[in-house]
Structure 1
Amino acid sequence: MFCNQCEQTAKGTGCNVMGVCGKKENVSDLQDLLIYALQGLALYAKEGRKHNIIDEDIDLFTYEAIFSTLTNVDFDPNRFRMLINRTVELRETMKASVAAAGGNTDFEQPQASFIPADTEDGMASQGAELHFIEQLDSDENIRSLKQTLLYGVKGIAAYADHAAILGQKDPAVAEFCYEALCALMAKGLTIEQCVPVAMKAGEINLRAMELLDAANTGTYGHPVPTSVPLGHRKGKCILITGHDLHDLELLLQQTQGKGIDIYTHGEMLPCHAYPELKKYDHFYGHYGTAWQNQQKEFPHFPGPILFTTNCIQKPAESYMDRVFTNGLVGWPGVKHIADKDYSAVVDMALAMEGFTDEVDSGSVLVGFGRNTVLGVADKVIEAVQSKALRHFFLVGGCDGAKPGRDYFTKFVEQVPDDCVVLTLACGKFRFFDKNLGSIGDLPRLLDVGQCNDAYSAIQIAVALSKAFDCDVNDLPLSMVLSWYEQKAVAILLTLLYLGIKDIRLGPSLPAFVSPAVLQFLIDTFEIKPITTPEEDLKAILG
C-alpha cells in the first residue's frame, strides 16, 4: 500500500504498512482498485455525454463509490469488493448504451476492460500490483498535481453525495468527476496543462457546496443562533456523530415519544441550529469534543452510538458493541444499518441505563450561517467603519491527533478583543467553548457550521466585499485553516479558484505537494504555512 491523502500520513511522507487512520493494507489496495475501476466507467460515461446519455443512477453511484475512499469512511473490505464489482457492471451497462448510440467504445486504456478477481484477496492483490499513485506519472510535479486533483474530486463527491440525498443534483458535477478521472490517465502533461484542471475542480466544488447548502437550508431552514447544552440530563440516550443531516432527522423521527434524548458529537453540533431539526424536544445537547478524543469519551456514554459519514475514528473494542454504522460508513465486526431503520439502535438505548444524573457543563452558541451574519450586516459594517471591529479571522478546517493542532487554540486565545473569529468544521472543537465575549451585540466567536458550510463562509466574505466595494483580498479578513482529509483539499481548491490569497495552512503542508508545486502556490496565491500564533498574528495585524 501507499497512501498520503491525509495530513496525518506516516512520517509526513506516506503510509506504506498500515494507515495512521487504522486502514489496513488490503483496504488501501481495494480503494486504489476501486478508483481504477471507476476510471474505466468514467471513459464510457464521458463518451456517453457526447451522445446525451446521462444515467443519474450511475452518477449517484459514482459519488458514493468515490466518497467511500475518503479518509475514515469505510474500512470494510467486503464492501469494497461489492463496490468494485458493481462499478464494472455499470461500466458495461454504459458501454452498451454508448455503442447503441454509435459512440466510441474502443478505448486503449486497460481500465476500460479491467476484470476484477473472483475473491476479495485476489482484488486486493490486483490493487497492490497497480502501484496506483506511482503510476499516475513519472514526473514528480505532474504526479503531485494529479494527486491534488484526485483528492479534490474525492471531496467534491462527498459534498455531491450529501446534496443528492436531499434531492439537490447537477449533472455538471458528475460530468467533471468523469473528466477528472479520465485526466488522471493522461500522459505527457505539463504543469501548465494540469493547473487549469485543478482550478476547475475548485469551481465545481463551489457548485457542489452550493447544492448542499440549498439542500440543507431548503429542507431544514436557515440556521438561527441557538444555545446548545454541553452537559446531560437524566434519561435514555443515543449519540450521533458524522455529518449527515438526513440521518439525524430520521433518528429524531424514529425516537420521538420514546423517552430517548438525542445527543450530537463532532460536526453534528451545528444541526441544533436548523429550525426543522431543533423543533424535536428530545433533541437535547452536545456530548464530547472532536473525534480525536472519542476513544476517551465514547466509552463513558451510557447509550448506543450511531456513526454517519466520515471524519471519525474506528471505534475501540471497549465500546464497539454499542456502535452502529450507517450509509457509507463501515468496519469489519461493527453493526451496519443499510436501510435507515434504526429500531436496533432504539432497542439498545431503551435497554441501557442511560444518564442517571443531570450535569450542567455550560453551553455553546451555534447558528451563525450567512443568513444570520448578513442579517446584521449593517451593524458589522458600522462596527468596522467606527474601528470597533478591526479584523475578521476565519479559523476553520479539520481536526486530527497529530501534534501541532494546539496552534489553532492558542491563535484564537490571542486574537485581540477588537477582532471577530469565524469558525467552521471539526477543527473548532479545540476552542469551540471559549468565551471570547462580544463586540456590541456581535459575539466574537461565530460558529458558521460544518465543513460543508464553507459555502456559507464564502458568501459572507463575498457579501462584505460588495458592501465595502472592494475585492475579497482587500477585506480585513484572514483565513487560518487546518486540514486533515480530502474535503479540505476540495475547499482549498475552491478558495484558490476564487482568487483568495494569503491563506495560512497547517499544521503541516500536504505530503503530496511537490516542492515545485508548492512554490507555484506560494508565488501565485501567497499560501503560507503556519508558524507560531504570535508571529502569524503580528504579520497579519502589523
Structure 2
Amino acid sequence: MESSMFCYQCEQTLGGKGCVKNGVCGKNAEVANLQDVLVHILKGIGFYGQRNLEKGIKISSEINKFVVDSMFATLTNVNFQPDRFVEYIKKGNHIKEELKNNLGEISNIPEVVKYKAPDSKKQILEESKCLGIMADEKLDMDIRSLRELLIYGFKGMAAYAHHAYVLGKFDDEVNNFFYKGLAATVDDRLTVEDLFNLNMELGKINFKCMELLDAANTGTFGKPEPTEVLTTKKKGPFIIVSGHDLKDLKELLEQTEGKGINIYTHCEMLPAHGYPELKKYKHLVGNYGGAWQKQQEEFDGIPGCVLMTTNCLQKPRDSYKDRLFTTSIVGWPDSPHIQEVNGKKDFTQVIEKALELGGWQEDEPEKKIMVGFGHDAVLSHANEIVGAVNAGKIKHFFLIGGCDGARPGRNYYTEFAEKTPQDTLILTLACGKYRINKLELGTVAGFPRILDVGQCNDSYSAIRIALALAEAFNCGVNELPLSLILSWYEQKAVVILLTLLSLGIKDIRLGPTLPAFITPNVLQVLVDKFELKPISTPDEDLQRILETSLV
C-alpha cells in the first residue's frame, strides 16, 4: 500500500492545497511523516522548556541549538535523509524528558506533550499517522492555520539562528521565544487573537534574530562592498558552493588555496563576493548558474563538484550524484556528507574529486554583474539618495525579491522590473533576484537601477535601508515612495513577511500564489489590517502603485 502524507508548508504544494503522496519539493512520504513526528516532539520540548523558563531554570546551549537545528532540518529542501530524522527524534525524546525532570511534579500536561516516540523507524512511521497536521479533524481551521503559520515562522527563524550559531552568536530572547511559541501550539486555551498576536511577536523577535546574524556576518567577514562578479566559466577544475553558509565557503577557500581549483558560488551564495574576508581569495572566481530550482539542469553532467551547505537542495540526477556533497543540516540519501569534527570540516574528498574531474576545458567570454549593496554600502550614500529624491531624479523605490521557484507566473517579477520607469530604483535580494539581476536597466542619479542587497539572510539590510530612508524624510515607512513586491516559496520567506507585518509595513504585494495554510478568515485579517495584496499583472500593479506614489 502506498504511503500517504500531508504537507502544505511551501508555495509549490500540489494543486495549491497540499502534497499527499510525495512532496513537490522531492521528499517522500517517509521523510514527511518523520518530520511530522519531530515537530510533534518539539512542541512538547517547547511546553516543558517554557515551564523551565518560568521557574527561572536556564536551558543549556546544547538544547537551544538542538531546537534550532532540528527545526531548520524540517524546512523545505533541506534534509531528505530518513535516518537523520530518526536521530533527531530519539534525541528529542531525551531532551523532553530532561526538561520534564527539571520540574518535578506538574499538572495540566496536554496529552500531545506526553507523547514519546518509539525507538524503531518502522514504529515511528506507524505512529506518525496520528501526529500530522490534519490529525485532529475537530480543530478549528483558523486555529490550525495560525498554529501552522507560527510553526513555519519558527522554521524560518531557525535557519537564521542556525547561521548565527555557526559564527558563535546567539541571543537568549530569540532562543527563549522558541519555547514560548512552540508551547502555544499545544495550548487549547489560546484564541485566534492570541495566536495572531504571537505570530506578530515572532516577527519582532525574528527582526532581532536577523540583526544578530547581520552582526555575525559583518563581524566575521567584513561589511559587504559593491563588487563585480564574473558569471561565466573559467578553464580548470572547480567546486560550486551552494546554500547560504559563509563559514563553510571560507573553510573551503582556505583548504583549496594554491591547489589550482576555482571556486564558484551558486544561488544564495552569490552575495559572498561582496565580503572583504571572502573576496580576497583570488580563486573565488565567480558565480555559476541561477536560482536553486534550476540546479538539476545546471549541474547535469558538470565536470566538477558541488558543495551544498544549507537549504535549496533538489533531488540530484544520476549524472552528478557522485559529485554532489552535503554538509551541516543538509542531506540526501547516498550523497557523500562532510561532517564537522572539533569545529572544523575536512573537504579533502571534495577537493580530490574536483581535481579528478578536471573541470571546464576553456574560458567563456566574460560577463559580470554587481553585488554588495548591503545597508552599510547603500546608507553611506544616503545624502545623495535623499538629494536625488528631493530633486525629482528618483521618483520611487521598489523592493523586488524573495524566493524563486518553478511554478508558472514568476515571470511576473521580471516583467515588473523591466516595466519600472527609468527614474525609479530597485532593491533586490534572495534568490528571487535571479529573475532580474542580469537585466540591463541602466542607472538613475548615478546609481545602478538594480542594487543587490544580498541573501534572504540579508533581509535585515533591506529593512534597515527602508527605516533609515523614513528617518531621513521624517516620515513613516508606509509614507515612503517605496513598494514591496515579494515572491515566496518556503518558510524563511514566511517569517520575513511576519517581520515586515510586525513592523507595521503595509501594502505588500505577495505572489505568485498565497499560502495554502492561510485560511480565508486569517487572510481577511491580513488584508484588513495590513492591506496585503496578491500580485495581479505587472501593468496593473505598476499603474496602481505609481498613481498613489507621494513623490
The reply to whether TM is greater than 0.5 is yes
Q: CA 1:528–1:302 in structure 2 vs 1: closer, same or farther (change >3 Å)?
A: same
The alpha carbon displacement at 1:440 in A equals 2.8
Opposite residue 307 of structure 1, the aligned amino acid is: M
**Is contact 1:238-1:304 (8 Å) kept?**
yes
- How many residue pairs get matched? 538
2:7 — aligned with what?
A: 3
The answer to whether the 8 A contact 1:173-1:208 is kept is: yes
Structure 1 window deviating more from structure 2 (360-369 vs 388-397): it is 360-369
The structural deviation recorded for 1:146 is: 1.1
Q: Structure 1 residues 27, 176: CA separation in 2 closer, same or farther (over 3 Å shift)?
A: same
**Cα separation, 2, equivalents of 1:468 and 1:136:** 51
In structure 2, what residue type is equivalent to 1:113? K
Of 389-398 and 317-326, deviating more is 317-326
Cα gap change, 1:14 to 1:361, in 2 (>3 Å): farther
Shift of 1:208: 0.8
Match for residue 38 of structure 2 among 34, 46, 52: 34
Map residues 349-428 of structure 1 onto 2, 5 A cutoff: 349-428=354-433
- 1:250-296 deviations in Å (ceiling 9; x for gaps): 11111111111100110000000000000111111000111111111
Letter of the 1:10 counterpart: L
Residues 242, 308 of structure 1: 8 Å contact kept: yes
Q: Cα offset for 1:155?
A: 0.6
What pairs with 1:264-279 in structure 2 (closer than 5 Å)?
264-279=265-280
2: CA distance between counterparts of 1:136 and 1:174?
31
Q: Which amino acid aligns with 1:418?
A: D
Corresponding residue SS for 1:299: coil
Displacement after TM superposition at 1:123 (Å): 1.1
2:544 corresponds in structure 1 to 539
- Counterpart residue number, 2:188: 187
Q: CA RMSD, aligned part only?
A: 1.3
Return 331-340 or 386-395, whichever deviates more.
Answer: 331-340
- Of all paired residues, the percent bearing the same amino acid is 51
Q: Give the SS at the match of 1:365.
A: strand
Report the CA distance shift for 1:383/1:49 in structure 2 as closer, same or farther (over 3 A).
same
Conservation of the 8 A alpha-carbon contact between 1:137 and 1:187? no
Cα distance in 1 for residues equivalent to 2:176 and 2:529: 28
SS in 2 for 1:125: helix
What displacement does 1:108 show?
Answer: 2.4
Alignment of 1:117-266 (within 5 A): 117-135=118-136, 138-266=139-267
In the alignment, which residue of structure 2 is the partner of 1:304? 305
Distance 2:440 2:137 in 1: 48
In the TM superposition, residue 402 of structure 1 has moved relative to its aligned partner by 0.7
Q: Distance in 1 between matches of 2:40 and 2:144?
A: 16
1:495 is matched with 500
Q: Which of 466, 470, 478 is matched with 2:475 structurally?
A: 470
Q: Mark the runs of 5 or more structure 1 residues left unpaired by the alignment.
A: none
Asked if the contact 1:137–1:143 (Cα under 8 Å) also holds between the matched residues in 2, the reply is: no
Distance 1:300 1:277 in 2: 28
**How far apart are 1:368 and its partner, in Å?**
0.3
In structure 2, how many angstroms separate the alpha carbons of the residues matched to 1:527 and 1:433? 29
Deviation (angstroms), 1:106 = 4.3
| Structure-2 change in CA distance of 1:97 and 1:239 (3 Å) | same
- The CA deviation at 1:129 is 2.1
Number of the residue aligned with 1:282: 283
Q: Distance in 1 between matches of 2:431 and 2:488?
A: 10
Q: Deviations over 1:357-390 (max 9, x none)?
A: 0112411100000001000111101110011100
From 463, 484, 490, give the equivalent of 1:458.
463
Supply the AA of the counterpart residue of 2:421: P
**Runs of 5+ unmatched residues, structure 2:** none
Do the aligned residues in 1 keep the contact of 2:388 with 2:394 (CA within 8 Å)?
yes
Residue in structure 1 matched with residue 117 of structure 2 by the alignment: 116
- Which range moves more in the overlay, 121-130 or 166-175? 121-130
Q: Say whether the 8 Å CA contact 2:78–2:312 is kept in structure 1.
A: yes
Residue of structure 2 aligned with 1:443, choices 441, 448, 451: 448
Aligned residues of 1:395 and 1:422 also touching (Cα < 8 A): yes
More displaced, 346-355 or 8-17?
346-355
- Aligned residue for 1:98, secondary structure, equals coil
8 A Cα contact 1:224 1:368, kept in partner: yes
**SS at 2:129 equivalent:** helix
The structural deviation recorded for 1:121 is 2.0
The change in CA–CA distance for 1:413 and 1:300 in structure 2 (over 3 A counts) is farther
